[in-house]
Amino acid sequence: MTSTVEHTPIVIIGAGFGGIGLSIKLREAGFEDLVILERAADLGGTWQANTYPGAACDVPSHLYSYSFAPNPKWSRTYGQQREILEYLRAVATEHDVLRHMRFGVELLHARWDEDESRWHLATSHGPLTADFLLSATGIFAEAKYPALPGLETFAGKAFHSLHWDHDHDLTGERVAVIGTGASAVQFVPEIQPRVRELLLFQRSAPWIVPRMDRHTSGLERLLLERVPLAQRLIRGGFYSAIETFGLISLVDQRFRHPYEALGRWQLQRQVRDRALRAKLLPDYVIGCKRAIFSDAYFPALDQPNVEVITTGIAEVRPHSIVLRDGTEHEVDTIVFGTGFTSIPTAYDSYIGTDGRSLAQLYDKQPQSYLGVAVAGFPNFFCTLGPFGAAGNQSAIFMIESQIAYIVDALKQLRATGARRVEVRPRVQQAFLAEMARRSTATVWLTGGCQSYYTTADGLNAGLYPNWSFQYRRRTAAFDSESYEVSK
């Protein structure tokens, strides 16, 4: 007896903002036969995975949400992890897409079959085939750890912010925090009052600017609920304010001065110790790395139980960390705030027409067309692919642009009866050449820092080097002439 492999016309990988938004808009366009595979036990993507103390968004909530599903009831200017997760669950429930989700199902392998013009998927719950494969796995899915000699010998507790151990009590402990990215800036103020000693190992200081977060009053929420135009105006205001960050990279780096002045003012007013201020002042142009909004980080560092260490780590011992100058610090717990891998391991799973995986392609050179399609991967679309994320705008704005493009593509293909679609290699190469040309003078490449914005050889790692509103116009409709389409 032979078993029949389940076939679904559309398979979406990931149930975060991208996957939920795709499923909603696909259903609105009349596509019902789709499934969403999510390896976690719940929806939410990064907001399901990141539960560290203080986890919150660094984009105002009225902008970090779907334009088609505004929420007048945000309790704060910046949404916290639990509230964002509740918002996503409410949107998925309201639009009836939970029934398309399969939780605890991990994609193990996806291979394009040219003869059948379909994808063959191996999952943790068995095989599937699909006509179209849509990846919405996100770019902050895999924890990145530094290569520290002796780390495996450490006898205490060690974990990454992405995998926070809530059963481990830090009260009264000597805690080493390695890394000063956005996650660390959020959890350090939360754990500082509880620990005996906090050692913050800083490779480079982040630019910190005022967050100005606050609770919204009941009257405000009532007004936004009764007057939807008010919420749209607030969203537009936040969009415009954040878009102006692009002035530094896209127009002239001299526009950095007001933003850097704001960061210096924040440091000056919140840190009393002059020597500590010197450690915490970045030595690169703002925007070269991700600037971080916080009103709590600097005050937490200016406490007697905190030491900011800028000397590199030589090795980790069973109960201590040894610096390159020979200084040894005893620690009970190590918390890594070292960010995420630039190429998620999920990209190893996608195998295109020439037998290479997405990870292999991206490792050679970040590549895609508009951040949504990749030559050599027919019937495949993605959200936030290389050059599909912006350094000066909410990721949700970019994701919605990509969703509109992908849904329009599938509508056009359905209307013409096409079975196979693949971006033309020459079109992708022209797009990549444009991205390289526009990236040359950006602050990401010339601002004097190293970050996940750039590759190891100093190239743009995948940020869209233009205005987000220009990207929105560019992805407003599927440009079928850029693709090889066949029936």
* pLDDT tens column, 159-200: 999 999 999 999 999 999 999 999 999 999 999 999 999 999
Residue 350 backbone zone (phi > 0: left; psi -120 to 50: alpha; other: beta): beta
Q: 79, 293 in Cβ contact below 8 A?
A: no
The pair of three-digit structure tokens given for residue 421, joined into one six-digit string: 């679609």
> For residue 228, which amino acid is it?
P
Residues 6+ apart with CB under 8 A from 120: 110, 111, 112, 113, 127, 128, 129
Closest-CA residue to 181 (of 365, 450, 371): 450
For 259, the enclosing helix (H) or strand (E) is helix 256-270
Q: Which tens digits make up the pLDDT trace of 192-210?
A: 999 999 999 999 999 999 9
d(Cα 474, Cα 408) in Å, to the nearest integer? Answer: 13
Parallel/antiparallel/unpaired status of strands 333-336 and 174-178: parallel
* Tens of pLDDT, residues 259-270: 999 999 999 999
Closest CA to 281 of 293, 295, 263: 263
Q: How far apart are CA 62 and CA 66, in angstroms?
A: 9
Instruction: Measure the CA angle with vertex 441, ends 438 and 445; round to 5°.
Output: 100
Q: Quick one: pLDDT at residue 3?
A: 65
User: Residue 417's closest CA among 339, 486, 316, 319?
Assistant: 486
Q: Which two tokens stand for residue 399?
A: 């994701």
From first CA to last CA, the distance across the chain in angstroms is: 33
Within 13 Å of residue 63, how many CA atoms lie on the same side as its CB?
A: 23
The SS3 assignment for 420 reads: strand
- Residue for token digits 């610090």? 329
Token pair recorded at residue 285 = 């142009």
Are 362 and 355 in contact, with CB atoms under 8 Å apart?
Answer: no
Q: Per-residue pLDDT tens, the chain, 487 aa: give them.
A: 446 899 999 999 999 999 999 999 999 999 999 999 999 999 999 999 999 999 999 999 999 999 999 999 999 999 999 999 999 999 999 999 999 999 999 999 999 999 999 999 999 999 999 999 999 997 777 888 999 999 999 999 999 999 999 999 999 999 999 999 999 999 999 999 999 999 999 999 999 999 999 999 999 999 999 999 999 999 999 999 999 988 998 888 899 999 999 999 999 999 999 999 999 999 999 999 889 999 999 999 999 999 999 999 999 999 999 999 999 999 999 999 998 886 677 788 899 998 899 888 888 788 999 999 999 999 999 999 999 999 889 999 999 999 999 999 999 999 999 999 999 999 999 999 999 999 998 998 888 888 888 888 888 989 999 999 999 999 999 999 999 999 8
The token duo for 370 is 């508009």
Overall residue count recorded for the chain in this entry: 487
Cβ-proximal residues to 90 (8 Å cutoff; 6+ apart), any chain: none
Tell me which H or E stretch contains 427.
Answer: helix 425-439
Domains and CATH numbers, the chain: 6-139+341-486 (3.50.50.60), 151-206+272-336 (3.50.50.60)
**What is the DSSP code (8-state) at residue 422?**
E
pLDDT given for residue 487 in this prediction: 85
> Apex CA 485: angle with CA 479 and CA 487, to 5°?
140
- 446: how many CB neighbours lie within 10 A of its CB? 15
Q: What single letter denotes the amino acid at residue 410?
A: L
Q: Which whole-number Å values give the CA distances from 35 to 100, 136, 333, 383, in the listed order?
A: 5, 13, 41, 16
pTM: 0.94
